[in-house]
Structure 1
Amino acid sequence: MPMRRGLTIIIAGADPDRLRSALGVAAAEAALGGRVRLFFDAAAVPLLCIPPSPPEPLLEAAIELGAQISVCQTGLAEQGITLDPRFEAGGLVSVMADLDEDRLLLA
């Protein structure tokens, strides 16, 4: 079987429905053995806060399947939240620098 190209998904906003769709795609790709990276841009960071919402079950599934999660460090500072130890802080420059041959999806 040929090696799968990676998939990088940028979560651009705080829409929970778009997040669920992106997480479904991420979990499916990870289940197929592909490398998956999710980046929560500044506007999407509130989706990771409790409140307003509990952790998304699909986020937990994607992590269990090996998806890597990075979160905008500016967004973290703006929201005043502590980074989940399973995630890493970063920015769009690092996402784009590490893109390589990954497919890029904006959600």
Structure 2
Amino acid sequence: MNERPPLALVLVSADPVRLRAALAFARAEVALGSEARIFLQGEAAALLRPPISAPQDAAWRAAGEPGLADLLDEALDDGVAISLCQSGLALAGFDASGLDRRIELSGPVAFLAAAGPHIRLLSF
């Protein structure tokens, strides 16, 4: 059994660079054998409005790395739990129908409850 406590990451701004970093850290945690979850709070929810992209995608692809949408898909495939603030969804002006079904709608209380009492919490 892995001794590492789960990693919970909270993203609070609509900055695709921060989302990329959170996805990278979450995937690294899963690769180490632990659990990771990301919560996009408030304005950060806009980052998941379809079609998902970032201004830096072309540069990342040129460097041999995936664009933001592909990185998100890889994180979900790896088992990273991703949840999105319901209020943030409304603030961003879109509904859940276009979201990947693996992304959950949630709130801070549900996110922290799912993460458990023994977590490492980071904010991006």
Shorter-chain TM band: 0.7 to 0.9
Residue 94 of structure 2 is aligned with which of 76, 80, 97?
80
Counterpart code for 1:90? S
TM-score, reference length from structure 2:
0.76
Aligned-partner SS, 1:56: helix
Higher helix share: 2
- Once superposed, what is the RMSD of the aligned Cα atoms? 1.9
Determine the structure 2 residue equivalent to 1:26. 26
Which stretches in structure 2 are left out of the alignment for 5+ residues?
55-67
Runs of 4+ in structure 1 off by over 4 angstroms are none
Name the SS for the 1:98 alignment partner.
helix
What are the equivalent positions in structure 2 for 1:87-102 lying under 5 Å apart? 87-99=103-115, 100-102=117-119
Whether contact under 8 Å (1:27, 1:58) holds in the other structure is no
Aligned length, in residue pairs = 107
TM-score normalised by length of structure 1: 0.87
Please, which runs of 5 or more residues in structure 1 have no aligned partner? Answer: none
After TM superposition, list the pairs within 5 Å mapping 1:1-107 onto structure 2.
2-51=2-51, 53=53, 55-78=68-91, 79-82=93-96, 83-99=99-115, 100-107=117-124
Secondary structure at the residue paired with 1:101?
coil
SS in 2 for 1:77: helix
Identity of aligned residues (%): 42
